[in-house]
Amino acid sequence: MSLDKRRLPLRRRAATHGTQRHESARKALLAAGALSSLLYVIATDGVAASMWDGYRRTEQMVSELFAVGSPGRDVLLPFTWLYTVLFTAFGVGVWNSVRGNRALRIGGGLLIGYGLWNILGALYPLTLEDDASVPMHILVTNIQLALMVAAMCFVAAGFHGRMRAYSIVSLAASAVMGMVAFMAAPGPNLVLGIGERISIGAFLLWVAVLTVALWRRLPAVMAAPAGSGPAPAAQ
């Protein structure tokens, strides 16, 4: 009996440590999302744009900064791979944070797909003054945008209250301004530059807000106990 009593606290401590490690890993993965958004702004409009004399942030596309022939491409190319790793990790963090909530689980899977799709974006960039590179770049970009929209829709469905409303507003702002910018292409013009940045910025900020919303695991997004039915929508 005395040995059993000693083993039980040891098992509890081991389980507690395992839970703590899992929770730390989950939070680190989620933090990668907010970090990816911050680094995206710094790398593009901060570093790469400053390396291109005459580049106008308010009138030119962000895609031009990634294009072959852009002065800042040497900086953005390795950043693309870093962003892919960070965002994919974020998707995994979302996936691990929402067990029992099917809509959020699907949203996490779509975010993982969005992150991995950046690889194809890097393989099919624009080439400055080469129209032949445009069709494939548009195709790859549109598929990634579809993943983004689907992910935001499922995340909105998985929450209710303020986070659902915020997700819907962010999705609308990103989609509408993205279409406005697309119609204003090829530019340069104010509608194109500002519109695209509002579209991208709405998504980047949404990622950071989702990180905060899932940072502390809530009962509504924890796995439901066996036999208790599906978990309710997250707050």
pLDDT in tens, 94-141: 999 988 899 999 999 999 999 999 888 888 888 888 888 888 888 988
pLDDT in tens, 191-208: 999 999 999 999 999 999
In sequence order, what are the beta bridge partners of 159?
Answer: 234
Long-range contacts formed by 137-141: CB under 8 A, 24+ apart: 137/63, 141/63
Q: What is the DSSP letter of 218?
A: P
Q: How many CA atoms lie within 13 A of 19 on its CB side?
A: 7
Q: What is the pTM of this model?
A: 0.84
Contact 48, 76 (CB under 8 A): yes
What would the two tokens of residue 90 be?
């974020």
Rounded (5°) CA angle 15-85-134: 155
pLDDT in tens, 1-36: 454 555 556 555 554 555 778 788 999 999 999 999
Rounded (5°) CA angle 118-120-123: 115
Radius of gyration of the chain (CA): 21
Q: What is the DSSP letter of 68?
A: B
pLDDT of residue 130: 83
Which residues, in sequence order, are CB contacts of 48 under 8 Å at separation 6+? 65, 66, 70, 71, 72, 73, 75, 76
The residue extents of the domains of the chain are: 29-221
Measured between alpha carbons, how far is 107 from 95 in angstroms, rounded to an integer? 8
